[in-house]
Structure 1
Amino acid sequence: MELTIQKPPLSPHSFARIRFQDCDPFGHLNNARYMDYFLEARSEHLRETGNFDFYEYGIQSGRSWVVNKVETQYLEPVKQNDIVKIVTRLTKLTQGTISNEYLLMDKDGSRLKALLWADFTYIDLNRGRPVRHEPEMMSFLGNFLYDELGLEETSFESRVKQLRKQITEGKYSQG
């Protein structure tokens, strides 16, 4: 798999319909299923914008990423059959880790329903041990790094408030 790309979108989005089997008896998206929607959206975004497939890369390279920390804020119920907008982005890159931010909004992008931050460790799949990103991978991932002033110093709680304000002001309602 060739790891080259020309200026990908740093904050891609897609839409998903909430499936019956992912909901609790109240018809709300089960809290354990949010991460499935987020990870699937990120995987699809990288296939579309970077011609990168996590599964294929793991098979070819023997390396991939595993989740080591997750923070989630559920803000409004998401219901069965709702169409939601999911925004994903890479917010931090180190020699052995990546961090992603995931926003789940209503279809119009006018209401934030949930926010998730996830940290991943890069590992050797055969040994199950952390490894450093290869220079080529660091360069490739660097193309996707979302750089918003002050984001690195922002707490999760502050970020939730900041994004709710931005969404209310219409920042995510286009597209």
Structure 2
Amino acid sequence: MEAMPSYSSFTSEFKVRPDDIDMFNHVHNSTYFDYVLAARYEQMETCYKMPMEDFLKMGLGWVVRSAFVDYKRPLGLGDTFTVETGIETINSKGCRVKFEIRISKTGKVACEGWFDYVMINIANGKSVKVSEEMILKYSI
């Protein structure tokens, strides 16, 4: 049996802002998606050295096909937290990015999960193959 490749994970740090808070006085569930996307955007540039702008110049974009989030405990106003992300799998059809959001003060997991991304041609919205060069660039 062939072993699954192992990919690097990277961490970004953020702080909960007032506009992230919902009527229950904690971060709204949909905002966690924004945190993961912000971390990926930053990490694409700083860690993979292939920022989203490079894809856009080629007329390509990454879109979410499906996502899963397992919420463990809430984040509150002023909390600092880390978002650790890493590619779990990548191939010519897209990639799965796993993530974990951890509360800095306690070290406990706020939520974890994954996103499945597909690459599209922005002009027509149809999926396109991920090139070998892109796979190599993101396989660190």
TM-score by length of 1: 0.72
Does residue 1:79 correspond to 2:76, yes or no?
yes
The CA deviation string for residues 53-101 of structure 1, in whole angstroms up to 9 with x for no partner, is 11x1233111121101001111001101100111010111111111001
Does residue 1:138 correspond to 2:123, yes or no?
no
Does residue 1:101 correspond to 2:98, yes or no?
yes
TM-score by length of 2: 0.89
2:113 is matched with which residue?
A: 116
CA RMSD of aligned residues (A): 1.5
Between the two proteins, what is the percent identity of the paired residues? 23
Q: CA deviation at 1:110?
A: 2.3
Q: CA deviation at 1:109?
A: 6.8
Does residue 1:25 correspond to 2:20, yes or no?
no
- In the alignment of these two chains, the number of paired residues is 134
Match for residue 52 of structure 1 among 38, 50, 54: 50
1:34 is matched with which residue?
A: 32
Q: Which consecutive unaligned segments of at least 5 residues does structure 2 have?
A: 1-6
- Which structure has greater helix proportion? 1
Q: Which consecutive unaligned segments of at least 5 residues does structure 1 have?
A: 1-8, 144-175
- Which structure has greater strand proportion? 2
